[in-house]
Structure 1
Amino acid sequence: MLDPIVNFFTRMFQWIGRGIGFLIGIALWPFMWVGRWYFQRGWMLKSILGAALLVLIGLYANFFYATQWWNNFDPNYVNKYDFAKRDVSAGEQVTAGGGTDTTKSCARSAIADMTADLTDFNVNQNAWISSMILYKVGLFGYDWDKTPFMDNKASFQRGINQAVRRTSTELADNMGRVRTTSQIDGDLQEARGNLQFDEATWYFGFSPFGPKTPTPSYYRDAIKKLRAFNGRLSTCQAVFDARADNLKQYIDRIASDIGSTSAILKDRAENYDYGFFDFRADDRFWFAYGQLYAYYGLMKAAQADFEDVIKQKNLKSLWDTMDAQFVSALRIQPWIIANSDETGIFATHLTTMGFYILRVRSNMVEISSVLSQ
């Protein structure tokens, strides 16, 4: 009685097996054809092609490592700075008795140090993904950002870079000078210019055609300029203007920056809710995560640099609340990013990240309001 049923399932699985074998055969056919062609060539051509293949394999191995291994990634990285021990604003003289022109010292800028360290994290402790040749080539010419592979770290790095770009502009235009009538600090101006450089330049390009200085070289030079500024600041040879209006403007600019990111997340969440099959959701999520990762450290640094302002305005409680929102957001580290409607069965990672960004922004708006009083 069961024989017809058993035979049916046997035939069904046989057909499934043949179908899978047929698909595998189609996928492997180009490689088999290339293999036959290769072994029919002469030894010189084989050597050249073999060496080129080994180089390509090496490049892809390095590319896979660079995109998948996040060196020194730590959402709690701010703890190592121990800003709580700082009791003086940036640029304020700290030498007992006033010192002399050669012995007096002033407090360094934690914001400048943090900006340099975050850039160092992006281009020295890790490879800068966006300008790597294999990232630019894409997956068989298809942009990696449009696939679910190899692009999370690049988006995360670009989010950090967005934050340090904004900060370098504020350092050069406002915090690193007295009012806006004094001369812009040369090191901060060069650092700002280098950090604004295109994110995707390799050693060679077509527009214009010819060899180029790659993106990481510009960012590394920005690190040197930021540290040079802080070196001069520590000997009171540079200026850091730790005024309340400078802090307010910096916070307003950050609030606007992350507000734009929140709008991007909202648009993606509302119009492309494909669950785990939205292959651009991971780009949006990790860019936003990178921004918050960087701004968390930069806000802690700002708290140290504007020590006197924070005390005068009684902002510590509000600042601690903002820090707690950063910490909560940075705890979200899903393996796979899902973009679903709130009523769906899948996770809604973009909506969740957007919620935390708005909470951080709300705290910033409240701090800005106090600073304007």
Structure 2
Amino acid sequence: MLNSIVDVFTRIFGTIGRGIGWLAVWLAWPFAALGRWLMRRGWIARCVVGGIILLVLGLYAYFFWQTQLWTGFNPDYVQAYRVEGRDVSAGSQMAATGQGAGAPVCNRSAIADVAADLTDFNVNQNAWISSMLLYKLGFFGLSWDDTPFFDNKASFQRGVNQAVRRTAVELVDALGRVRGTSQIDRDLQKARESIQFSEDAWYFGLSPFGPKTPTPSFYRTAITSLRAFNDRLERCEAVFDARADNLIQFLGRIASDLGSTSAILRERSENFNGGWFDTRADDRFWFAYGQLYGYYGLLHAARADFSEVVTQRSLGSLWDATEEQFRAALDITPAIVSNGREDGWIMPTHLATMGFYILRARSNLVELRQVLDR
């Protein structure tokens, strides 16, 4: 009986070994053929081809380095803003300090600052992965998103960018104007247009055919525009409408955005139980993680920008609990994302876990809205 079991496992592992061998031969065949072709050519052809190979290897080394190095990543990044004690809403004129009457000074928008800094984190402190040439080329024509390799950072960046995009829309439509009837702020409008640009544009494209401005250039324009708005706001030359109904709408937009992501995670978790072998599970997980990472900072900033509303409605404790839910989700950083069955006992289900944290955070946002709406 024991010998039969051993034989079965021996055949299984033998078959796996032969499969790996065939795969290695298939992958090595083009390089072997290229080597035989070069052996029949002169030194000029060898140098040209060798230079091309070195260039490709260098590009892949740079691509590997950029996808694995997460510069500036810090789940506790909100602490650097030190806005907890702010008691004047964004856009409100601050009391003069010192002697003499100088130019008026208004409070900056922490939301605009955080949105600009998150974008700076995406495209200046790190390379924007989604528009890199080798990311667009994929793995032998297969999209990196369909593989378990080199796509976690790209998905995380897109999640952060989703939070900034949603915020830019709210800044233009509601927060940066008076009751929606005043003129749209020019800097916020430019920021929204720039941050909405395609996430995967390189210097050249096929549809439409021709040269293009790459994605990071547009996002850097958004950073400049957001900071220009805040500089004007500080000089009391711009508007930030810190009313309770605007805060209700902003929280509602965040809750709706997170609800959509929760549905995506649920669909993948329920219909694809591949465990560690689900090659799209990591994309869904890290997009959701990036979204929570971005909204954590923006929610922290919103408390400062709407400080008078938060104080008047006694939202301090509930707001703290909401931020704690966002921060707790950022502690989930698995080395390999697994999409196992929810009742399984071998492979974990990271998608369901992330979905649970998103729903908890969303529930707190809904409660905040309900208290504000009373």
Q: Shorter-chain TM-score: what band?
A: over 0.9
203-212 or 109-118, which deviates more: 203-212
Quote the residue 1:120 is aligned against: 120
Q: Structure 1 residue 25: deviation in Å?
A: 4.8
Q: 1:205 to 1:305 in 2, by over 3 A?
A: same
Instruction: Describe how 1:1-373 pairs up with structure 2 within 5 A.
Output: 19=18, 23=22, 24-25=24-25, 27-96=27-96, 103-345=103-345, 346-373=347-374
Distance in 1 separating the partners of 2:231 and 2:27: 59
Q: Secondary structure of the equivalent of 1:125?
A: coil
Q: 1:155 to 1:244 in 2, by over 3 A?
A: same
Q: 1:308 to 1:20 in 2, by over 3 A?
A: closer
Please tell me the residue identity of whatever aligns with 2:363. Answer: S
Q: Secondary structure of the equivalent of 1:210?
A: strand
Superposition RMSD on alpha carbons, in Å?
Answer: 2.4
Q: Secondary structure of the equivalent of 2:277?
A: coil
Q: 1:153 to 1:304 in 2, by over 3 A?
A: same
Q: Structure 1 residue 100: deviation in Å?
A: 9.2
Instruction: Structure 1: give runs of 5+ residues left out of the alignment.
Output: 1-7
Distance in 2 separating the partners of 1:260 and 1:18: 43
Q: 1:99 to 1:59 in 2, by over 3 A?
A: farther
The TM-score with structure 2 as length reference comes to 0.93
Please tell me the residue identity of whatever aligns with 1:352. Answer: T
29-38 or 121-130, which deviates more: 29-38
Q: Structure 1 residue 341: deviation in Å?
A: 1.4
Deviation by residue 1:235-284 (Cα, 9 ceiling, x = unmatched): 11111110000000000000000000000000000000111111100000
Deviation by residue 1:88-108 (Cα, 9 ceiling, x = unmatched): 110111142799996210100
Distance in 1 separating the partners of 2:253 and 2:307: 20
Q: 1:18 to 1:147 in 2, by over 3 A?
A: closer
Please tell me the residue identity of whatever aligns with 2:190. Answer: E
Q: 1:142 to 1:99 in 2, by over 3 A?
A: farther
Q: 1:99 to 1:160 in 2, by over 3 A?
A: farther
Q: Structure 1 residue 20: deviation in Å?
A: 8.2
Distance in 2 separating the partners of 1:213 and 1:112: 24
Please tell me the residue identity of whatever aligns with 2:370. Answer: S
Q: 1:50 to 1:185 in 2, by over 3 A?
A: same
Distance in 1 separating the partners of 2:48 and 2:179: 63
Q: Structure 1 residue 54: deviation in Å?
A: 1.3
Q: 1:101 to 1:250 in 2, by over 3 A?
A: farther
Q: Structure 1 residue 33: deviation in Å?
A: 2.2
Distance in 2 separating the partners of 1:351 and 1:240: 38
Q: 1:371 to 1:99 in 2, by over 3 A?
A: farther
148-157 or 21-30, which deviates more: 21-30
Q: 1:236 to 1:99 in 2, by over 3 A?
A: farther
8 Å contact from structure 1 (residues 98, 104) kept in 2: no
Q: 1:304 to 1:46 in 2, by over 3 A?
A: same
Quote the residue 2:4 is aligned against: none
Q: 1:107 to 1:26 in 2, by over 3 A?
A: closer
Distance in 2 separating the partners of 1:28 and 1:198: 36
Q: Secondary structure of the equivalent of 2:242?
A: coil
Q: 1:246 to 1:211 in 2, by over 3 A?
A: same
Percent identity (aligned): 60
Please tell me the residue identity of whatever aligns with 1:36. Answer: R
Q: Secondary structure of the equivalent of 1:103?
A: coil
Q: 1:27 to 1:130 in 2, by over 3 A?
A: closer
Q: 1:349 to 1:37 in 2, by over 3 A?
A: same
Q: Structure 1 residue 115: deviation in Å?
A: 0.2
Please tell me the residue identity of whatever aligns with 2:39. Answer: F
8 Å contact from structure 1 (residues 340, 347) kept in 2: yes
Q: Structure 1 residue 80: deviation in Å?
A: 1.1
8 Å contact from structure 1 (residues 194, 222) kept in 2: yes
Q: Structure 1 residue 31: deviation in Å?
A: 1.9
Please tell me the residue identity of whatever aligns with 1:127. Answer: A
Q: 1:213 to 1:264 in 2, by over 3 A?
A: same
Aligned pairs, number:
366
Quote the residue 1:3 is aligned against: none
